[in-house]
Chain A
Amino acid sequence: MQTFQRFFRLSAVAAMAAISAGAYAADPIKIGVAVGLSGANSVVAPAVVQSSQLAVEEINAAGGILGRKVELEIVDDASGAVGAQKAFDTLVFQKKVAAIIAMETSAARNAALPIVSKGKVPYIYTSFYEGRSCNNAMYVNGWVPEQQVAPVVDYFLASKGAKTFFLVGNDYSFGRGMLNFTKKYIEQKGGKVIGEEFLPIDGSDWTSVISKIRSVKPDALISATAGGAPNVSLAKQLKGAGMTLPYGNLAIDEGTAKTMGDAASDMYMSASYLTSIDTPENKKFVAAMTKKFGADLKTPNELSEPQYEAFYLYKAAAEKVGSTDAAKVIPALAEVSFNGPRGTVQMNKSRHTPLSMRLGQVQADGSVKILQTFANVDPGAQCPNLN
């Protein structure tokens, strides 16, 4: 009798476990995307949302992750620190997502990181940034200054015979950070910085700066302005003043170059992703985006393409360890790679990613022509204390 009861109990437990396991397998894996649907990032957000949707659609069509369907949870972070805290809080504690894949401004990322740590959720940060942000749960697949500055400076030194440089930027963390790094890099390579000028972050009257450039006659100009208005006004005023020296812009993306048209022509830029990358993987990606979104397509860019890759990297990591358990997935994220539109990427350099960087030049019609590809540019020791 007793054995029978025991057997009955056991089998009941087993049956329940089986049922719940079955239900578990059918449960979708939720992946959170916090993005600036409102505020400053709302210009780029639609492209990021579209590439996330494509990645999820493709992964689901191929059977999902670990046989489970993937579900997107998109939350507005209002492009700022307070909004990002709310958004991450919602994703981690209410929606209980398995991972977060999101671009953020640096301020917003720093504000949200404690929530990621507390919730122990793997987080793939998909934006380029000024570097050296370290967290146990975070991986980065965008570029850092070490990777972006080198192609522009190397090209100006080698192909343009430039010896003297003039640096121009807006007075905020990205502008200062990028140009400080650029200055060090130029001096390390034997070039000379003969002028460095900053305008307030909302400043767009470059009159005095342009006059200074004119008077010191540098061989090349490199700028790191705030995106949008200051960047556009600098380009317009340089063109208006008839300046023809080689000009490298560290703050421009392909889409902005296109809308700027004539004002951006001949400008040099450095990027890990450009739509004109000539590989089968990129052609397939662009074709799939065009097919899915048609006339509503937002041109894929430096922020939306890493977003797409990150879903595949998460899939690879989860399938490698056979689970969505954060403690197992987080170390695995460094061990997996994905061959995507930018080439093969693996987030294995102290949580950052060696990337192939492309030096592009904006053409008269606004498209970007790739002049040179610098393969596997190392991000350097960004987080030496993390492994």
Chain B
Amino acid sequence: MVLLLDLLTTAAMLFVVTAGLMMIFGVMKIVNFAHGALLTLGGYASYVVTQLKLDPWLSWPLAFAAGVVVGMAVEQLIVRPLYKRPLDAILATWGLGIVIGQLIVMAFGREVQFVDSPLSGTWSLFGIDYSAYRLLLVPVAIVMCLLLTGLLNGTRFGIRTRAVIMNEDLASGVGIHAGWVRFVTFSLGAGLGTLAGTMITPLSSVDPNMGMAWLVSAFMLVMVSGHSMVSLGLTCLVFGACQVLVSTYASPVLGGLTIAVLAAVTLRIRPKGFAHG
């Protein structure tokens, strides 16, 4: 039973962390190496909230808002000229990640910071006391998945976004403001990244490198799942489950490799991932 909860909560955590990258990399095809730094930024939003002695729940909206603002600035200043030059975008976002990381070091120092958790303690479920916060992440991930799916598939904005990604010239031709769509999508993706950063703080440490550990897994998951939020959710569930099973029954050292190995194998068999048909 504990194993089942481990599977579900790990998958939820992976989904939360990768959703923002999905918007930028999966949907917009911008390889965003700054995603790790955005996660870190979210972690420090929690730290600021703790320092100001505010309610820890406030860190969620604050982190999201901070991410959106940063995303808007970055899109305008850095990413906009690079949509047609994806290789340069890799370098630019990588550099941006380093810059954000160093700014955080300058502002807050290199050491590990302590952050208040919005929810602590355990909930009793099926006769087991399990971490309440981890359990909370499961409905959060599901709601997030539904909202984003709805946004991308059920609204005019989503249709426009997909139109712009598939054929920008044609989309512009029928009167869609491509620049505006990209601007909104990128900012939203950045906001989701920082939100994820603040959401993982009760389970990880807050330090200038906290986001980097998630970056590789996040990229693997998004590459495998293509551009659909539902398939991202499923990928997180399957790969997360494999990771937990390998960690539990083999060794945690091998567990750390599971996602990368599975992703490599999957992409070998289906080079375009799951959602590309």
Contacts and interface: CB of A to CB of B under 8 A. Distances in A.
Contacts of B51: none
Contact of B2 (A197, A203, A214): A214
B111 A198 contact: no
A233 interface: yes
A105 to B, nearest CB: 16
Interface residues of A, number: 36
Interface string B110-144: 11111001001110000001111110000000000
A373 interface: no
Contact of A203 (B10, B202, B205, B252): B252
B210 interface: yes
A232 interface: yes
Contacts of B46: none
Interface stretch (A205-213, A318-326, A332-340): A205-213
B251 interface: yes
B110 to A, nearest CB: 5
Interface in A205-240: 205, 207-209, 211-212, 214-215, 228-233, 236-237, 239-240
A228 B205 CA distance: 8
Given A240-B120, A240-B202, A229 B6 contact: no
B110 A43 contact: yes
A260 B114 contact: yes
A209 B202 CA distance: 17
Size range of the interface on B?
35 or more
B110 A42 contact: yes
B207 interface: yes
A259 B113 contact: yes
A25 B207 CA distance: 49
B247 A208 contact: yes
B6 A207 contact: yes
A366 to B, nearest CB: 9
B210 A211 contact: no
A378 interface: no
Nearest to B247: A208
A350 interface: no
Interface in B230-259: 244, 247-248, 251-253, 255-256
A42 B252 CA distance: 29
A365 to B, nearest CB: 12
Interface in A247-272: 256, 259-263
A236 B202 contact: yes
B66 to A, nearest CB: 22
B203 interface: yes
12 contacts: A197-B251, A203-B256, A209-B252, A211-B2, A232-B207, A236-B204, A237-B203, A240-B134, A240-B202, A242-B122, A242-B129, A259-B112
Interface of A: 42-43, 171, 197-200, 202-205, 207-209, 211-212, 214-215, 228-233, 236-237, 239-242, 256, 259-263
Given A207-B244, A212-B248, A242-B129, 12 more contacts: A42-B110, A197-B252, A200-B256, A203-B213, A205-B10, A209-B252, A229-B207, A229-B213, A236-B203, A237-B131, A239-B120, A242-B130
